[in-house]
Amino acid sequence: MTKKTIAVLPGDGIGPEVTRAAIKVLENIADLHDHEFVFQEGLIGGSAIDEKGAPLPHETKELSALSDGILLGAVGGPKWDHLPGGNRPEKGLLEIRKSLDLYANLRPVKAYASLIESSPLKEEIVADVDFLIVRELTGGLYFGEPKMREENEGEMQAVDTLVYKTSEIKRIAERAFQSARLRKGKVVSVDKANVLESSRLWREIVDDVRGGYPDVELEHMLVDNAAMQLIAQPASFDVIVTENTFGDILSDEASMLTGSLGLLPSASMGSTGVGLYEPVHGSAPDIAGENRANPLAAIASAAMMLKYGFEMEKEAERIEAAIEKVLADGYRTADIASKSEEAVTTAEMTDAVVKALE
Ligand code: NAD
Ligand code: IPM
Ligand code: MN
């Protein structure tokens, strides 16, 4: 019996709906494998602002830091969009990533065989899609200082700063090359080195790090071209490593290769040993509270927690197999259902996964 404490931060919008689904699956896995998972809930995002006046209350920070793994839903929504940057729901997410030094955001993108027809792209283009986006998560434009508004020559201007230190680039590059070694041995580093100084340093450091991985192939690609290649020949990618903002944008784009943003999980790993696991998607205010959200991204994120956080590979594979089975059996939430198919609810999809675990 292995005991693990899991911090659960449901957040806003569909966050609580999909997190509930992931917990249900984890509870069943715990029973099947004789583990004990203790779930401790914390507030984050808009719901934390409403109840505690801050997007990442002190208690949530503490709960998370002391846990063995953090399961997060999503934050944000129109209710809080008028708030200043430092007090928005999204700030809670950025703060927890930064405070736990979760610099490596792993976003696997894999086309499920039974969902090939759900992608807007042609079958032959998406059929063999299987790559990993390694997104730098605690640097770049998101965190660079100064970040502010100021008067300049009689008008207001706004400043964000894109800054990367050598050490930040080095550690994310190491992570990408290590991941590639366990996969097909090919890294594409995405940047904008024809324009940005931070990208030129990025390229130099990635080249240096590659020296320690002569067995791994490396290609540098400009981000505008990468956005195009992701649609033109997505199956040619293995590991994509890139800075924070580019990784954010490219991963939402990549989700459509699989059919829906509601399918993509992520793991954020850092230097402290505690990982954070969350779907790539947001709080989806347009469908929140309707029992329509696809819970598979959150469930697959829970599987990543077992695999990367708890070394429970078998258990993670059991969840992944269950997801593949329900999709092969034709279960479709609204986001992946074709016009002729009847969609199941969040709860029905979750129950189907739980049943498929056995
Ligand atoms: P979003 O990801 O919430 O939604 C984009 C579209 O995808 C919507 O049409 C939504 O209905 C759909 N979608 C997303 N997840 C789905 C799921 N599981 N099942 C079915 N459909 C799904 O992005 P947005 O609308 O740009 O942002 C909404 C809010 O979420 C904003 O406040 C934003 O800041 C926040 N956000 C949070 C996170 C996070 O917490 N990690 C990520 C992205 C966006
Ligand atoms: C994501 C989200 C976040 C990000 C926002 C909500 C801060 O879009 O996790 O992809 O940009 O990192
Ligand atoms: Mn995003």
Please list the rounded mean pLDDT of every run of 10 residues in the chain (358 residues).
96 98 98 98 98 98 98 98 95 98 98 91 95 98 97 98 98 98 98 98 98 98 98 98 98 96 98 96 98 98 98 98 98 94 96 97
Q: Where are the domains of the chain?
A: 1-105+259-358, 120-257
Rounded to the nearest 5°, which phi and psi values hold at 189? Answer: -95, 125
Query: Which amino acids are annotated as binding site for substrate, given as ranges?
Result: 97, 107, 135, 224
Looking at residue 339, its pLDDT comes to 86
1-105+259-358: CATH class: alpha beta
Instruction: Compute CA distances 70 → 36, 275, 298, whole Å.
Output: 16, 6, 12
Active-site residue, 50 included? no
Looking at residue 52, its pLDDT comes to 98
Looking at residue 295, its pLDDT comes to 99
Do 1-105+259-358 and 120-257 fold alike per CATH? yes
Looking at residue 118, its pLDDT comes to 82
Q: What is the distance between the alpha carbons of residues 214 and 295, in angstroms, rounded to a whole number?
A: 40
Looking at residue 282, its pLDDT comes to 98
Question: Which residues surround ligand 2 with Cβ inside 6 Å?
Answer: 76, 90, 93-94, 248, 280, 282
Residue owning the nearest CA to atom 8 of ligand 1: 284
Question: What CATH architecture applies to the domain 120-257?
Answer: 3-Layer(aba) Sandwich (3.40)
